[in-house]
Structure 1
């Protein structure tokens, strides 16, 4: 299973309220980052993955504190563990290691 698109503040809140699993947010502009779907699938047992297009839903930019898309944000039990602005394949390794 891949990521679920977030389209409203209530969906943002519900995603972050997930307990017992990692929550991975892909905040992007225009197109979902390459590899996001695969990352979501690879870690589906430990992680709920979501995506949000900050162009289509500009409130998400402020809500998640996105300064440089694509940004990947990792949460657990409602707490932010790691945020990686300007995500690249090289930068993704640290977050992917945290999901194991």
Structure 2
């Protein structure tokens, strides 16, 4: 599971390993797009593509919505206990593409 709901159902903690696996799947999709652009000899910005995918995915909002629906909770983004750390994982992910 990508996050763990605490016993009182008032907070979530993003699980590092599962979150990184989700980012790896996003990475594979971006790499596939880049490969297609290269084959077609089209220009692209890897950093722009990665930023766009991450922003469109709304990862944290999707996690919250999933738990709210599945668990009948009313959690908000502020209820993610390790949001700053998880945002750091996203920043690391995006750095990879800013260096391409």
- The TM-score, its normalising length taken from structure 2, stands at 0.30
Greater Rg over alpha carbons, structure? 2
- The TM-score, its normalising length taken from structure 1, stands at 0.30
Q: Which has the higher helix share?
A: 2
Q: Which has the higher strand share?
A: 1
Asked which structure has the greater RCO (Cα within 8 Å, sep 6+), the reply is 2
